[in-house]
Amino acid sequence: MKKIISLVTFVFSTSCMAQQDLSQVEIIPHQLSDNIYYLEGSGGNIGVSIGDDGVFMVDDQFAPLSEKILDAIEGLSDQPLRFVINTHQHGDHVGGNQNMGREGAVIVAHENVRTALRAGFNDGDLNQALSADHRIGLPIMTFTDSVDFHLNGEDIHIFYNGSGHTNGDSFVYFKNNNIIHTGDVFRTVAYPRVDVGAGGTFHGIVASYEKLLEISNANTRFLPGHGVVSSRADVQAQLLMFMTIRTRVLNALNDGMSLEQVLAAGLTAEYDARWGDPVGMLTAVYTELSSQ
């Protein structure tokens, strides 16, 4: 399956990638079902469906890891890589797009992801022509609401969530196996990251969690953008935390507190040991509530 590939650093890879030594990263496969795996490496968790119809992949981490990722996939399947789904536009999830495109993969994403990635090549001038090298890493199939795939004995429903982590977030629901790849909307490593510059909103993340609960059941497994496979109860617990924090920020806002006062008030004190620095999340919540 693997051709000789040029491990270029994709234009829209995150700046932190340039500061990392990725040479020592191992790509570790984890089996979720007979034909679904996820690959752990550096960057977002990669979902993989294998079978006679070919390899279907969700996200592709950083460009310098592409060869290792393809090696790991070859250890799982002798079929070609056919599709790569981008859950959103961040470089630790789409940095390998050009290399996967050179492998012949069809790249699929919400139309906002394509727009964001295309803008990254030409300083936002969408009228500027792109080179063939740029085009090969862009999604060539886009959707506004949802798209369905039927391969490897699996019905795969990919659907847009609205603005949450970014304005291009999609969930990938492997219906037969009851597994949902959530991208970075749901994570188990830190408080939610609201990328305001990419159109993200805290309230959109809350709505996305509610959607996850609506479509799932007690047996659903959730593959987060970062972290470990989780249960419906884990999603519920995070959503309850978000609602509690939002109520506290709203009460503080109604009491006339400034953002600086909210950040100093310890509103998330009982959660911080588990979830880390709350400043980014609290700033997003305060800003959104202030504008209502």
List the chain residues with pLDDT less than 70.
1-20, 122-129
* Rounded CA separation 102/136 (Å): 7
The verdict on pTM exceeding 0.75 is yes
DSSP 1-35: -PPP---PPPTTS-HHHHHS-GGG---EEEE-SSS
* Rounded CA separation 119/189 (Å): 29
All structural domains of the chain, each given as residue ranges with its CATH number in brackets, are 1-143 (3.60.15.10)
| Start-end of H helices in the chain | 15-19, 66-74, 91-94, 97-102, 111-121, 132-135, 202-215, 232-254, 259-264, 269-275, 279-290
* Rounded CA separation 90/93 (Å): 6
b/e map of 101-123 (b: 16 or more CB within 10 Å)? bbbebebbbbebbbbbbbebbee
Q: What is the pLDDT of residue 131?
A: 79
Share of the chain above pLDDT 90, in %: 86
Q: What is the pLDDT of residue 158?
A: 98
* Rounded CA separation 50/39 (Å): 13
Asked whether 69 and 63 are in contact (CB, 8 A), the reply is no
Share of the chain above pLDDT 70, in %: 90
Q: What is the pLDDT of residue 60?
A: 98
Instruction: Give CB contacts under 8 A, 24+ apart, made by 256-260.
Output: 259/283, 259/286, 259/287
Helix (H, G, I), strand (E, B) or coil at 142: strand
